[in-house]
């Protein structure tokens, strides 16, 4: 159960009295690094990222092989014999090959339960599983914001997965990086040092050398990487504040994260500022700027849901109910929006080679801007289109 004391925030006058949201610092300069003397970096960490030097799994060799049934295989099932001949592959995997016609006995497709006879010739053309090809290059378009010999900064669209995993073994940012730069195969995770959720858009940095990757990981561990998000949330949060509540795996639904007050919860802090609020029927929606002091999985989404202000469109957390905390009233949206309204619009770090302080910015994507327009948020079109 979430304790009220776990949330710390500063109340200031209502956000409705604030001027129109200014996107001049959002859209301006996209594609160009902005050097700055600002050293007020956010502390930011990312779960589950290995230091450079860790090994990654590549797809192995799947060359065709030929076996001949001997006395030990006479009278045995085909799949059982192949499992003994090829112990690196599971029996269920071998059965799939047989069903797909990748195994032939005496030049003809066979069946899993077929019985081998002495002298039978078995031709096997092993089929890679999707996960075996997870680290293969693929022509995945990447929106490159900045690039030099050490860094690659991209503006990831919503719907694009960063790293191959169950259910998304191909078509990821990692596959696109390998296609764009084959040398990235020499780096752990192809140089990827942090992630964005599949349906979260925005800026992320990728290392192009081992030296850069080592330095970026150290910056992340030291929490000196500045990352700022824009989010649309239901309700009217305080003008500004900090949500301070530990996050861990939801014990009731392991695919989700939740506020966990026990020892298994990891410290998590989200600083926020409410930029503007508009009414929607008997409800309201607010534009919030978030700074991460930590970087737990789904941190912003979990914190605002538990705080009582779930992200607009969030398919996982928008319908969740936190015990002991009333949820805000919601109304139908003027436009369909079926993903979390969350965008990483600003990224700042120290260049791993020359030490320059760099910052990049990217305006929210078209679907999020269209929703904001339909809701009546006051934004400056000239600022949003500065890079057109």
- Residues taking part in catalysis: 197
Number of Cβ atoms within 10 Å of the Cβ of 127: 14
> In 3-state terms, what secondary structure has residue 233?
strand
């Amino acid at each position: 159960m979430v304790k009220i004391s776990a949330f710390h925030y500063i109340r200031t006058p209502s956000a409705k009295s604030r001027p129109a949201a200014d996107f001049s610092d959002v859209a301006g300069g996209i594609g160009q690094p902005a050097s700055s003397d600002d050293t007020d970096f956010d502390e930011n960490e990312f779960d589950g990222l290995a230091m450079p030097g860790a090994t990654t799994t590549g797809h192995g060799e799947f060359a065709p092989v030929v076996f001949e049934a001997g006395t030990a295989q006479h009278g045995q099932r085909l799949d059982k014999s192949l499992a003994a001949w090829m112990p690196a592959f599971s029996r269920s995997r071998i059965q799939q090959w047989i069903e797909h016609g990748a195994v032939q006995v005496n030049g003809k497709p066979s069946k899993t339960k077929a019985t081998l006879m002495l002298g039978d010739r078995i031709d096997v053309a092993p089929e890679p599983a999707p996960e075996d090809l997870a680290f293969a290059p693929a022509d995945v378009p990447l929106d490159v914001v900045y690039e030099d010999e050490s860094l690659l900064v991209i503006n990831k669209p919503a719907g694009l997965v960063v790293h191959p995993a169950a259910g998304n073994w191909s078509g990821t940012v990692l596959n696109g990086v390998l296609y764009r730069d084959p040398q990235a195969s020499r780096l752990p995770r192809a140089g990827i040092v942090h992630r964005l959720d599949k349906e979260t858009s925005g800026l992320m940095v990728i290392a192009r050398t081992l030296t850069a990757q080592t330095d970026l990981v150290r910056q992340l561990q030291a929490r000196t990487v500045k990352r700022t998000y824009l989010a649309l949330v239901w309700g009217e949060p305080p003008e500004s504040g900090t949500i301070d509540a530990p996050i861990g795996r939801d014990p009731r639904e392991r695919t989700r994260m939740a506020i966990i007050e026990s020892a298994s919860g990891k410290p998590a802090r989200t600083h926020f500022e409410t930029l503007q609020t508009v009414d929607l029927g008997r409800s309201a929606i607010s534009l919030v700027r978030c700074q991460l002091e930590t970087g737990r999985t789904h941190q912003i989404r979990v914190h605002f849901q538990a705080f009582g202000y779930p992200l607009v469109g969030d398919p996982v957390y928008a319908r969740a109910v936190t015990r002991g905390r009333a949820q805000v009233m919601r109304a139908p949206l003027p436009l369909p929006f079926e993903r979390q309204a969350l965008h990483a619009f600003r990224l700042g770090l120290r260049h791993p080679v020359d030490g320059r302080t760099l910052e990049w910015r990217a305006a929210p994507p078209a679907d999020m801007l269209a929703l904001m327009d339909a809701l009546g948020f006051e934004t400056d079109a000239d600022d949003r289109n500065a890079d057109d």
